[in-house]
Structure 1
């Protein structure tokens, strides 16, 4: 009887592919939109596998960048319940600065794809992603979207639609900063951080986003043109007692010529 039941279950799964694990999760429906995870391709020799969190927002709704600013919470992902997954790290397309009258925040008010790098513990072995995802989806108030999204990255790994979507998400990321487009210096002046930026195009179009982390927090950047230089002044709201190890704080610089990203060393 047990063998018959198992065979019947396999038949059902074969007849209904949506009930079987695939390289994209089911959609999670929430007020204001829906979210799902997708992976594409095979892990590289270091075990890195590309994927993305697709956030399909309804008109009038928004979600947040890696550091929202005055209000909101950044997207979070926890893969500790997964099999053979060591870590997952978001990357972020260039955000926009928003002012709703009460708060200024950095994020997205249209559907957005957040690239993810999953790292397998053992690249040659099978993996199962069980990702606990949390993000704020907001209209006039914020609705926490919290769920577990499950997928098997090896099942239908070469799906052309999923592959194209993940490739497009990574292609939309800010380019690496370079000497002629990026932060050229950052210094403290009293309670402020002064950042000098090299920007192509119209300096008046420049927006600067700096993500607080490891005990650092900053106010909204204010752009200043001084002696032909494009500067951004940020209030230092919090800092750790000692300088952390690591590469520094993530920044994104946006102009009418495009967007770049990089790091500012810890102070």
Structure 2
């Protein structure tokens, strides 16, 4: 499995410490490198969505991962199968930074981060409670997978202004949709290489490209080059499915000193 290279000194478990859902935000769960909680805005919106964040408060010197951390980490994951009247939960990610800890290159965050989560209510108008099993990795010189269970009753405190402000702030950190002057174009590559040209306002030296390996794709660290005024990222394809998917695409984020954008690119 692609994430088995993580250096583990132990697994921090929180299942037994879980408490019944009593508020629109969970209690903090403490681990060696920080703490984590689940925050929501309370009641669903008109589309039947409950907005929230997975709030990760890292201690100084600790780090956590993006949606694709590379070959040496664990991406944050939520399992909401134990919830009531919740059909789905989608995590979103602020733009990451690239790290090299001596064991491998990976993408993530070296500061506290709030990951927006959108919960879809199965039957709008009916009571809904969130029972989320959380799995994520946090690292100092070594990496520790953290597992815990966070419970929330969004309707118990539906108008909490502090929680709503936290969610609004987290949503504002997300990348904007890619546009013609800030995004990527896919260039011809081969079976083992993805090549993209990046367009970005501002200093090209500040630009970085992140791609998430999904659907059995796995990518190495992008190599940047500039020629004739064009900024190009060449990405090794380390693994791929036996048959190229025909639906959807691969998620990418492009960052620069001017901000960040994201989008989907065709399967190589």
Structure 1 length as normaliser, TM-score?
Answer: 0.90
How do residues 223-238 of structure 1 correspond to structure 2 at under 5 angstroms? Answer: 223-238=224-239
- Pick which of 83-92 and 189-198 moved more: 189-198
Q: How far apart in 2 are the matches of 1:42 and 1:64?
A: 29
User: 1:250, CA displacement in angstroms?
Assistant: 0.7
Structure with the larger helix share: 1
CA contact (8 A) 1:53 1:114 kept: yes
Q: How far apart in 1 are the matches of 2:83 and 2:72?
A: 31
CA contact (8 A) 2:21 2:153 kept: no
- The 1:20/1:74 distance shift into structure 2, 3 A limit, reads closer
1:254 partner SS: strand
- Pick which of 234-243 and 37-46 moved more: 37-46
- The 1:256/1:141 distance shift into structure 2, 3 A limit, reads same
Please name the residue that 1:125 is paired with: 126
- Pick which of 36-45 and 224-233 moved more: 36-45
CA contact (8 A) 2:63 2:109 kept: yes
User: 1:190, CA displacement in angstroms?
Assistant: 4.9
Please name the residue that 1:265 is paired with: 266
Please name the residue that 2:38 is paired with: 37
1:154-185 Cα deviation digits (max 9, x unpaired): 11121000000000000110111101001122
How do residues 61-210 of structure 1 correspond to structure 2 at under 5 angstroms? Answer: 61-210=62-211
- Pick which of 98-107 and 23-32 moved more: 98-107
Please name the residue that 2:48 is paired with: 47
Q: How far apart in 1 are the matches of 2:77 and 2:120?
A: 16
Q: How far apart in 1 are the matches of 2:154 and 2:225?
A: 47
Greater RCO structure (CA 8 Å; 6+ sep): 2
Q: How far apart in 2 are the matches of 1:90 and 1:45?
A: 20
1:238-267 Cα deviation digits (max 9, x unpaired): 111222243211101011111111111123
Q: How far apart in 2 are the matches of 1:236 and 1:193?
A: 7
Q: How far apart in 1 are the matches of 2:20 and 2:214?
A: 39
Q: How far apart in 1 are the matches of 2:53 and 2:247?
A: 25
1:162 partner SS: helix
**Contiguous gaps of at least 5 residues in structure 1:** 1-17
Runs of at least 4 residues of structure 1 off by over 4 A?
A: none
CA contact (8 A) 1:211 1:249 kept: yes
Please name the residue that 2:13 is paired with: none
Q: How far apart in 1 are the matches of 2:191 and 2:138?
A: 36
**Contiguous gaps of at least 5 residues in structure 2:** 1-18
2:69 partner SS: strand
Structure 2 length as normaliser, TM-score?
Answer: 0.90
Q: How far apart in 2 are the matches of 1:124 and 1:247?
A: 32
- The 1:52/1:145 distance shift into structure 2, 3 A limit, reads same
Aligned pair count reads 250
